[in-house]
A and B are shown apart, each in its own frame.
Chain A
Amino acid sequence: MIDKRRDTVTEALEDIHDGAVILVGGFGRAGQPVELIDGLIAQGARDLTVVNNNAGNGDTGLAALLAAGRVRKMVCSFPRQHDSWVFDGLYRAGEVELELVPQGTLAERIRAAGAGIPAFYCPTGVGTPLAEGKESRVIDGREHVLEHALAADYALIAGLAADRWGNLVFRRTARNFGPIMATAARTTIAQVDEIVELGALDPEAIVTPGVHVDRVVEVGERPWLRDGAFVGGVTVNGEPLSQPTTKEATA
């Protein structure tokens, strides 16, 4: 019998160790496994290396993990946002390390790790500060830099629905890093709005096959889907919903 369901977030996260490298899904708030991150804060693991496109928005989810002082290093493409005051404060205080990676290179390094490719040559970033110190090679007349796969101990991701085999479907642009992160970690833990019966997910529509997922936990419909303050804290007109001045910067 294959049953990857866990009853609680606590149970799903219990073995995460200090110093772990963790891929955290999401692009801003979309696809961010907020309930798993809250569970990780309660679980207490520290000295973590966290890989995410951003470095937290507002004061919840990844930002709360950072504020709790659990993250030693962030690997991301776009830490600086209008509502990234938690990371900004920690970074300026020298309390968190940053590895900046172009977004597509970040995605491909994760994909490569899951696909058994230890490194690859990539044209992105050639001639820029982000290529400094990297091996380079001219292929077909064009310079490329060597980028290494980015594997992790854990992936924490969010999907829309799962079955007990760990098959996953996602919702709209919340898919973002979920499918590739699922493949690149030794242990992948997915939170989903709903766990459905085996066979209820159309095999033609399954995005992440269950082999890539180790544990699934149902969190119900995410409350922040309807709280009006979720889109990275930005209105439809792109104006911040909340200002850093409403919260003390965590410096």
Chain B
Amino acid sequence: MTTPQRPTGLSRAEVAAKVAAAIPDGACVNLGIGAPTAVADHLPDGVEIMLHTENGMLGMGAAPAPEHVDPDLINAGKQAVTAVLGASYFHHADSFAMMRGGHVDLCVLGAYQVSQRGDLANWSTGAPGAIPAVGGAMDLATGAREVVVMTDLLTRDGTPKLVQDCTYPLTGVACVTRVFTDHGAFTITDGRFALDEIYGDADVRWLRATLDLDLVDARQEDQT
């Protein structure tokens, strides 16, 4: 396959900033383990959101200074965090009821694959011999009111992560509505990916050539 050379895209931090800019003021948000955690560092000034961590806290704050690390105060990734003013603690069943019950406005998750109907695969590659671990991924995918994916568009070897149908075991069915990648942002509507924005050096021709998708170009006219 003669796909043109991969264009330069945004850095992880820049993608995190794009996601952060899309979060409405006042939202209750869960940021998944890994890259999505960085979204918290890029919230615009004046925006106040309530961060939910599924191990049992609302109002999660940034990492503490080393001398203030508290082993009883951690996030879902088991990293030391702080509690902001207004924070609350609760047990696990309450935490997941909060999610499943539709009280968490938005979650940001990583992905191995996202399909055009919004299926998410992000917990297992199904590789033989791998030890399966799912954590709260399925609960988040099913329960958050909006599931936003933040991921590289392509794997390291150049395989697209946006696909017609996921080949990896699913985390949730038809749950993802938006995807932010290093090369562009997409919305999933009516079983198709719509391109909202292109990032970096990519152009729509490269995206169409790279992604085996019936891609809708939904960009504003002035963004060509």
Contact = CB atoms under 8 A, between A and B. Distances in A.
Bound pair (A, B): yes
Interface of A: 27-31, 53, 57, 77-81, 87-88, 91-92, 98, 100-108, 110-111, 122-130, 170-180, 207, 224-225, 228, 230-232, 234-238
A128 B140 CA distance: 14
A173 B74 contact: yes
Indicate the member of B54, B80, B129 with the most A CB atoms within 10 Å. B80
Interface stretch (B43-51, B93-101, B216-224): B93-101
- Specify the main secondary structure of chain B where it touches its partner: loop
Contact of B100 (A88, A101, A123, A178): A123
B158 interface: no
Interface stretch (B130-138, B145-153, B178-186, B201-209): B130-138
A77 B71 contact: no
Nearest to A226: B71
Contacts of B100: 104, 108, 122-124
Contacts of B95: 104, 107
Given A102-B139, A177-B92, A128 B170 contact: yes
A179 B66 contact: no
A122 B186 CA distance: 30
A171 B97 CA distance: 21
B134 A27 contact: no
A87 B132 CA distance: 12
Nearest to B62: A236
B72 interface: yes
- Across the A-B interface, the 9 shortest Cβ-Cβ residue pairs: A104-B96, A232-B78, A104-B139, A230-B71, A127-B173, A111-B93, A80-B133, A107-B92, A174-B72
B211 interface: no
Contacts of B97: 104, 108
Contact of B99 (A104, A179, A207, A230): A104
A103 B79 contact: no
A171 B73 CA distance: 8
Given A78-B134, A128-B171, A176 B96 contact: no
B96 A108 contact: yes
B53 interface: yes
Contact of A125 (B55, B135, B142): B142
B77 interface: yes
29 contacts: A27-B56, A29-B71, A29-B78, A30-B72, A57-B78, A92-B129, A98-B132, A103-B136, A104-B96, A104-B97, A104-B99, A106-B92, A123-B100, A123-B143, A124-B138, A124-B143, A130-B134, A173-B74, A173-B75, A173-B89, A174-B71, A175-B91, A180-B93, A225-B71, A228-B69, A231-B78, A231-B79, A234-B80, A236-B64
